[in-house]
Amino acid sequence: MKKNILLTGGAGYIGSHVTNLLIDKGYSVTVIDSLITGHKSLVNKKAKLVISDINNVKKISNLLKKQKFDIVLHFAGLIRVEESVKNPKKYLNNNFNKSKIFLKTCCENGLKKVIFSSTASVYGNSKIPKVNEKEKVKPANPYAQSKLLFEKYLLKISKTHNLKFVILRYFNVAGADIKLRTGLISKYSTHLIKIACEVAINKRKKLVINGSNYDTVDGTPVRDYIHVSDLADIHLISTKYLLNNGMSQIFNCGYGKGFSVKQVVETMNKILKRELPISIGKRRKGDIGKIVADTRKFKKFFSWKPKFNSLKLIIASALKWEKKLLKINNI
């Protein structure tokens, strides 16, 4: 029997990739998205789209009463670190308060299996080479704090409502669907690889490196990049795990290898066979100097091997997506 998946934020970057994969694998998917930051064009036509905010209790309750769902994948939320520093209350409300209301509504209607889209930013400025899931959490910005608050709420409510969850702590997600069905759309992106791609196709004049005096290999921030399609696969595996009555777990999502901003730019230059125009700017508030995942837990738990573990492939797929957007309507 086909399993019914409820997925919030399915009109967004990661949510749309996961929706496509779930539908490719034969699942029935209902997407909830307010379309405030999401894009209807990214939602798979085989998915049912419910346009709603996640804290609309009446609308969500009616949906859950009309249709039985086996699991919910919760992606909806705001993601810009710099914005969260400037407006922490906005992030507390959107990423924690609204999610709390949504989860309560799910539990009251018998939906008690949850996969939550969290972030590696909950670890803050860790000084160890690779952070594992047992590392002490110390959020470096309000965005990370809002995600951690919901993680803690999930843990609390799981004990009182017999809820099972998988929390996925994303490191830096990048790239685009190899078939170019979906990708990242954002007019105000702070994502390094997207910005580099926009500079490459002349949508931006130059790439600004925010800080060159970090304690890293070349002074620029270091991140662990994971291809969005591999991340979608992690969600598929986690979905199967919970549907088969798996116990609650927390997993890091990355490749376990860090690349600096300059190394990303150098890789882009090799793909383009020319140099991107760059400049050095000031550090941004809330930014982390270096963070790399210890991914042994997920790999061992599921004998998982990534399919797209290549910075060059990640950047090349993102660049192809940006070129497609340029052809469509100059988004």
Of 13, 143, 214, 241, which residue is the catalytic one?
A: 143
Known active-site residue 91: no
Q: What's the rounded Cα separation, in Å, for the pair 315 and 206?
A: 17
Residue 52 structure tokens: 């709603």
CA-wise closest residue to 12 among 46, 42, 49 = 42
Q: For residue 129, with 0-12 CB atoms within 10 Å meaning exposed, 13-18 middle and 19 or more buried, which class applies?
A: exposed
CA-wise closest residue to 265 among 315, 215, 302 = 315
Residue 280 structure tokens: 């050095």
Query: Strand 172-174 and strand 225-227: pairing?
Result: parallel
Residue 299 structure tokens: 């790999």
Q: What's the rounded Cα separation, in Å, for the pair 109 and 139?
A: 32
Task: Decide if 236 contacts 25 (C-beta within 8 A).
Answer: yes
Kindly list the catalytic residues. 143
